[in-house]
Amino acid sequence: MIEMSLQPSTRRFSSRPVESLAALAAVREAFVEWLAGVTTSEDRVEDLSVVISELGANAVRGTPDGAEPASVSAWVEDGLLVLEVTNRVEEITVPDADWDFEDPLRTGGRGLLLVSAFVDDVHVDVEDDVLIIRCTTRL
């Protein structure tokens, strides 16, 4: 069980590199600890743990070999939690926000759909060769 106690001094989860799926587990654990100081809702912590897991795994898989690792950061702004996951990309394409339900057996391609079920807004952008996914949700 996660101990929940609001700590106003912990308003920012500094950018953390995510070099591998194994490293993602440690980043997710640190993020969950940080969240426990930002919200007293265990449900929000669990939901956002799913979000960071999904986005982090996709960022690790999408980062080209030899590129700098994906990164995760978060902060609280005007009562909203902002979670940002970035990674280098080879192809400059923004993931399709139109969900394809035609092939229920298709592997992959539903990460943003899953994430959008847990947050209020998902914004996807590409700047230079960096894919940026920024999620916001009320605390």
Per-residue confidence at 2, pLDDT binned at 50, 70, 90? very low
| Nearest Cα residue to 130 out of 74, 75, 63 | 63
Tens of pLDDT, residues 82-137:
999 999 998 766 555 555 556 666 666 678 888 999 999 999 998 989 999 999 99
Q: Please name the residue ranges forming H helices in 94-133.
A: 111-116
Question: Is the confidence at residue 63, as pLDDT, over 80?
Answer: yes
Delimit the domains of the chain by residue range.
12-138
User: How many angstroms separate the CA atoms of 4 and 124, rounded?
Assistant: 31
The confidence score (pLDDT) of residue 117 equals 92
Residue 133 and residue 85 in contact, taking contact as beta carbons nearer than 8 Å: yes
Q: Which helix (H) or strand (E) holds 59?
A: helix 42-62
Q: Which two tokens stand for residue 3?
A: 């101990």
The confidence score (pLDDT) of residue 101 equals 59
pTM: 0.83
Q: Which two tokens stand for residue 69?
A: 């690792």
12-138 topology per CATH: Heat Shock Protein 90 (3.30.565)
Residue 71 and residue 83 in contact, taking contact as beta carbons nearer than 8 Å: no
User: How many angstroms separate the CA atoms of 79 and 59, rounded?
Assistant: 26
